[in-house]
Amino acid sequence: MQMIQAYDGLNLYMTTDTPESPRAVVIISHGMCEHSGRYAAVTQKLFDRGFKVYRYDLRGHGKSEGERGFYSAPDEITEDLHRIVDIASEENPGLKRFLLGYSMGGFAVADFCTKYPDKAEGAILFDAATRDNLGGFSRISQSLDPLTRFPNKLAKRLTSDPEVTAAYKTDPLNASYFTAGLSQRLTLGIQQLTANPTFCLPVLLLHGEKDTLVDPSDSTDFFAQIASEDKQLKIYGNTQHEIFNESVKNQVMADVTRWIENRL
């Protein structure tokens, strides 16, 4: 674990898990109001298949610096990921890089791969905020004070697993609030992503059928509109937002590792 400097000097918390002979690199970008530590089980599944895994806390989240749950520009979330990708590339010459993004982190991955297609070999998107068909972000007015706080009420809508829900509620690294600035910047970022459907990398889109935070249509719309020739979409029945914490979690990770292995 280490602190690394983002493009603007802000310190980001990063961890790496390195198997004996890495086959490829996977970089995980988490969702809003949480932190990279919640991806230990996902990381273990990848590690067991020989993948070196990089995790980091988004700015304003977990152990990273920054105003809690706040963004001042749409590019911040993307450029922070850019920094992690550059570090992973420098440390692992010759290894393919796959980016795994969940929810808001899925936006970061989709936006990054659209802007920098030569810096990754593929993307895996879990219930990714590539569109905003439910209006979860856009319902917050662009004219509102960006530092206005909203309570984090995500817990009951993340997963059907009561143990995971209870752990989420008591985890001190999960944020108790997010700001209008986060929603405002994500709204602008998603609008830009929608207007520029040039995403062309291999991509695996995975979504929960009963996700009430990021609608499955966000993934189906993104899938239909992007330029990628190598693209796959799978909707898991009777599952909520965190498919990696639902009863299908082993199937999800089997699908992910198989997809990556088929592209090495």
Question: What DSSP letter does each residue of 24-68 carry, written as one string?
Answer: EEEEEE--TT--GGGGHHHHHHHHHTTEEEEEEPPTTSTTS-SST
Closest CA to 107 of 208, 11, 222: 222
H or E element at residue 14 = strand 11-17
Q: Which of 57, 111, 127, 211 is catalytic?
A: 211
Instruction: Please tell me the distance from the alpha carbon of residue 227 to that of residue 146, in angstroms, as a whole number.
Output: 34
* Distance from C-alpha of 22 to C-alpha of 100, rounded to nearest angstrom: 17
Question: Is 211 assigned a catalytic role?
Answer: yes
Q: Which of 111, 144, 91, 146 is nearest to 29 (CA)?
A: 111
Give the CA diameter of the chain.
52
Catalytic residue selected from 30, 61, 82, 241: 241
Strand bridging mode 177-179 / 203-208: unpaired
Angstrom distances, CA of residue 104 to CA of 23, 24, 69, 182, 219? 27, 24, 12, 10, 13
Per the residue annotation, which of 103, 183, 219, 228 is the catalytic one? 103
Q: What is the DSSP string of 146-166?
A: TT-EEE---GGGT-S-HHHHH
d(CA 192, CA 173): 30
Residues 6+ positions from 163 with CB-CB distance below 8 Å: none
Q: Which residues are catalytic?
A: 103, 211, 241
